Structure 1
Amino acid sequence: MENIKFRSDNDNEQKFAREVRKRVRSYFKDKNISIYGNFKMHLKTVIMLGAYLAPFIIILTIPLSPLAALGMVVLMGIGEAGIGMSVMHDGAHGSYSSKAWVNKLVASTMFLLGSNTINWKIQHNVNHHSFTNIFNYDTDISTISVIRLCEHAPLKKYHRYQHLYAFPLYGLMTFVRLFGEISVLLEYNRKGITKQQHADPTLEVVKLVITKVIYITLIIGLPLLLTDFAFWQILIGFFILHATAGMIMSTVFQMAHVVEGTYQPLPDEHNTIHNDWLVHQLLATSDFGRKNGLFSWYIGGLDFQIEHHLFQNVCHIHYPAIAPIIQTTAKEYGFNYNLKPTVFYALASHFRRLKELGRIEHNNKPEQHDYPVDSIQGI
C-alpha cells in the first residue's frame, strides 16, 4: 500500500504548526524542565507494576475463597490496563526517558502481558499515529469488521445494533492481541514491514512465540500448581483478567478518536490529504474531561489525547501543562479543539457516534485535507 503524503498549501495551517511547536518548546525551555518523565513517572511505574503483580502473588501464596480470588483477578486486570496505558505506552513512544535503553526496558513491560513491542510499535506508533483516523491505514479503525468504527468502512445490517454490543466486545481486545498477533507479525514479515523497523523477522517470531509460551505457563500453570482452584476456575479467572483490561483500554482509546467532532478523511487520487500533519492530528483527535484526578493519572493522560498526538515524544505527565498552550493556539488560528467536558460526556458521544456509524453510509469521496510526514516527531 502506497504511503499517504501530507501536504498543505494553506498558510494559516503552516503558521499554526510552527507556532504551536514554538510555544510548547518554549514552555520546556523557560521552565528548564525535561520533556521526559521524572520521579512521579518512576513512582507510577512501581505502583502500576505492583497493582498487576501483587494480586497474582497473593493468589499464589494465600488461600483465598473463589470470591476473594475473583477480586484479586479484577485488580490484576486494572493493573494490566494501567501498565499498558501509563507505563508501556510512554516507553514505546520513547517519551519515558532520554535514554534509549530505559525506554526499551519500560516498553518491554508488554512482555508481562504476553505480548511484544514490535507489533505494538507498527500498529500503534506507525499506523495509528502517522495516519490517525484514515481508513485502511489506521488499523485501530480499519480491522474490526464486526464493529464499524469508520464512516468509510462497509456498512452491514448488523452494525445497526453495534452501539449495544460494542462495549462487551471491547473486553476481547487483549484476547485478540494475545492469540492473534502471531499471524499479524507474520503478515508484517511478509510485507517487509518488520525489516523497515530494523528488526529481524525470524527472531521476532521466535521471541513472540517464546513470550506467549512463558506467559501462559506462568499465568495459568502457577495457579494450577500452587493453589487448590480447579482448572475451570483458573480459566474463568484468566478470562476475567483479560476482559477487565480489554474493556478499560479499548473504551479509553475509543473516546479519543471515535466520538462526535473527530473527522475521518480519505486521501485524494494522488494519495494526498491536504492538511498540515499537526492540523490533521488536531482535527482527528479529542480530549475528554482533563480534570479527572486519579482517573487521569491512572490512564496515563490519555484524556489529553490531542497533546499526545501532537507531541508524542513528550511524557504524559506534562500534558496538563501544555494543553492550555495548544488549545489557545488552536483558537487563535481558527481551528477546532475538540474537548469533551467530562468522561461520561465522552462515553455518551462515543455511544452516539457508534449508533450513527451503524446506520449512515458515507459517500466515500476524498476530503480536501492533508498532513506532512516530517511533522510526526512533534517538537
Structure 2
Amino acid sequence: MSTRLKFNNTTKSQFMATTRARVDQYFKDEGISPNANGLMWGKTAIFLGGFFALYGLVISGLFSPWAMLPLVILLGMFKAFVGFNICHDAIHGSFSSKNYINTIFSYVFHLLGASPYVWTITHNAVHHTYTNIPGHDEDIDVAPGLIRISEEDPVNSIQRYQHWYAFPLYSLASLSWAFRKDYKKFFQDKVGQVSVKHPKIEYFNLFFYKAVYYFLFIMLPLLVLDITGWQFVAGFLIMHMAQGLTMGLVFQLAHVVEGTDYPVPNDNGNIEEAWAEHQMRTTANFASDCKFSAFFLGGLNRQIEHHLFPKVCHIHYAKIGEIVKLTAHEFDIPYIQSRTFLCAMKSHIRVLKKFGYEARMSA
C-alpha cells in the first residue's frame, strides 16, 4: 500500500504519548492483559451461541412463516452483535495475543456476509488512519450523491429529504456487503487514496467464502424449508435490513454527529495536526456509561478509545476511557460525546438536516 497524505504534528503535542503511557501503566498496575478476559469470553459464548441457535431455529422448519419473522429479525441483529463484539476485535488483533485465535474469530465475519480481508483494508488501514477525510475515508461514503454529511460532498437536490430516507438506506448496508461492496472494494485500484495489491489466495477466499455464505443463507433454507419464494425473499431481506440498520446506526453515531470534523488536506496534501488529535476531532462516543450499550455494541459506543487503542480489547474501554478523557482535558483537546443513544441519534439527524438544508438552498 502507498499513500501521500501525511499528518503534520505542527503543535508538537504530547497528548498521545502521555495517554499511551498512562494506559500502559494502568494495565501494568492492574496486572492484566489488554486482550480478552473472562467476561469477554463469556460475551463471545453468548453472542456466538445466540447466532447459531437463531440460525438453527430458522432453518429447522418447526415454525410457521409468521413465527419465523421475529426470529429472522433477531438473527439479523445478532449477526451485527457478533460483528461488533467478536469479529471487530479479532480483525484488529485485539481479541487475543495469539494470532491464530484472532484469525479463527475473524473468519466468523464470513458468516455475516462480509470479507474480513477487505474489512482489514477499508476499515483498519484506511478508515482508522484517515478518519472523516473526504476522498480518503470511504467508510463515510454511505451513499455518495444521496447522503451529504460534509461541505466537500457533492450537492444533489434530493438531499433536502435525506433525514427521511437515510435510515432506510442504512438498513441496506449488510446487503451491500454481501452482494456488492466487498467485490467493488476488492477490485478497485485504490481504496480512498491507498493503492492495494492483493495476495493471490485472497482472490480464492473472496469467492469461496461468499459461496459458503450464499449456500447457508440462500440455498440451504430454500432446500429445507416449506416456504414460498416470496416468503423466503421477504425473510432474507428483513434479516439483512435488521442487520444493516443495527450496523449503520452504530457506525454513523460514531463519526457523523455535531462537533465532529471533516478535515481537508492542505495544499501539500497533508493534515496539519497530529494523528491522535485528528482522531479526537473526528470521532465521538455515545451512551458511554450505559452497560447495556457497552454489552451489545462491543464497545463501539466508545469509539474514541477504540480509535486511539485499536489493539486493546473493547472490554477494557470503560476503564481506559477515564484516562483518555482526563488527558484530553489536560491538553485542551475535545472529547466529543453524547450522553445517551437517543441524544446521539438526535444529533445525527440534525447533521443530516443541516447539510440537507444547504443542498436545498443550493438547488
Between the aligned partners of 1:64 and 1:16, the Cα distance in structure 2 is 56
Q: Which residue of 1 aligns with 2:277?
A: 279
Between the aligned partners of 1:166 and 1:189, the Cα distance in structure 2 is 26
Q: Which residue of 1 aligns with 2:57?
A: 58
Alignment map for 1:230-245 (pairs within 5 Å): 230-245=228-243
| Equivalent residue pairs, number | 355
Pair 1:338-2:339 in alignment:
no
Deviation at residue 41 of structure 1 after TM alignment: 1.4
Between the aligned partners of 1:335 and 1:134, the Cα distance in structure 2 is 19
Deviation at residue 152 of structure 1 after TM alignment: 1.1
Q: Which residue of 1 aligns with 2:132?
A: 133
Q: Residue by residue, what CA displacement relative to the aligned partner does 1:9-65 show, whole Å, maximum 9, x if unpaired?
A: 213xx2222211111111111111111111211221121112222112112224212
Alignment map for 1:1-379 (pairs within 5 Å): 2-11=3-12, 14-142=13-141, 144-145=143-144, 146-180=146-180, 181-188=182-189, 193-195=195-197, 199-200=198-199, 202-360=200-358
Letter of the structure 2 residue corresponding to residue 55 of structure 1: L
Deviation at residue 231 of structure 1 after TM alignment: 2.0
Deviation at residue 149 of structure 1 after TM alignment: 2.7
User: Which deviates the most, 53-62 or 276-285?
Assistant: 53-62
Deviation at residue 215 of structure 1 after TM alignment: 1.3
Contact 1:182 1:205 in 2 (8 A): no
Contact 1:63 1:227 in 2 (8 A): no
Between the aligned partners of 1:230 and 1:219, the Cα distance in structure 2 is 15
Between the aligned partners of 1:183 and 1:18, the Cα distance in structure 2 is 38
Letter of the structure 1 residue corresponding to residue 267 of structure 2: E
Deviation at residue 193 of structure 1 after TM alignment: 4.2
Letter of the structure 2 residue corresponding to residue 186 of structure 1: F
* Aligned residues with identical type, % of pairs: 39
What secondary structure sits across from 2:187 in the alignment?
Answer: helix
What secondary structure sits across from 1:42 in the alignment?
Answer: helix
Contact 1:19 1:329 in 2 (8 A): yes
Distance of aligned partners of 1:186 and 1:161 in 2 relative to their CA distance in 1, 3 Å threshold: same
Between the aligned partners of 2:65 and 2:214, the Cα distance in structure 1 is 21
Distance of aligned partners of 1:143 and 1:348 in 2 relative to their CA distance in 1, 3 Å threshold: closer
User: Which deviates the most, 255-264 or 35-44?
Assistant: 35-44
CA RMSD of aligned residues (A): 1.7
Contact 1:220 1:235 in 2 (8 A): no
Between the aligned partners of 1:349 and 1:302, the Cα distance in structure 2 is 17
Q: Residue by residue, what CA displacement relative to the aligned partner does 1:70-124 show, whole Å, maximum 9, x if unpaired?
A: 1110111111000111110000100000011111111111111232111101110
Distance of aligned partners of 1:147 and 1:82 in 2 relative to their CA distance in 1, 3 Å threshold: same
User: Which deviates the most, 185-194 or 146-155?
Assistant: 185-194
Distance of aligned partners of 1:258 and 1:348 in 2 relative to their CA distance in 1, 3 Å threshold: same
The normalised TM-score by structure 1 is 0.90
Between the aligned partners of 2:61 and 2:215, the Cα distance in structure 1 is 20
Letter of the structure 1 residue corresponding to residue 227 of structure 2: F
Between the aligned partners of 1:3 and 1:10, the Cα distance in structure 2 is 21
Letter of the structure 1 residue corresponding to residue 307 of structure 2: H
What secondary structure sits across from 2:166 in the alignment?
Answer: helix
Contact 1:115 1:208 in 2 (8 A): no
Deviation at residue 203 of structure 1 after TM alignment: 2.7
Between the aligned partners of 1:101 and 1:188, the Cα distance in structure 2 is 30
The normalised TM-score by structure 2 is 0.94
Deviation at residue 188 of structure 1 after TM alignment: 4.6
Deviation at residue 360 of structure 1 after TM alignment: 2.8
Q: Residue by residue, what CA displacement relative to the aligned partner does 1:126-151 show, whole Å, maximum 9, x if unpaired?
A: 11100000001110123621211332
Deviation at residue 351 of structure 1 after TM alignment: 0.4
User: Which deviates the most, 216-225 or 153-162?
Assistant: 216-225
What secondary structure sits across from 1:134 in the alignment?
Answer: coil
Contact 1:141 1:150 in 2 (8 A): no
Letter of the structure 2 residue corresponding to residue 148 of structure 1: R
Between the aligned partners of 1:157 and 1:327, the Cα distance in structure 2 is 40
Between the aligned partners of 2:3 and 2:101, the Cα distance in structure 1 is 34
Between the aligned partners of 2:213 and 2:309, the Cα distance in structure 1 is 33
Gaps of 5+ in 1: 362-379
Gaps of 5+ in 2: none
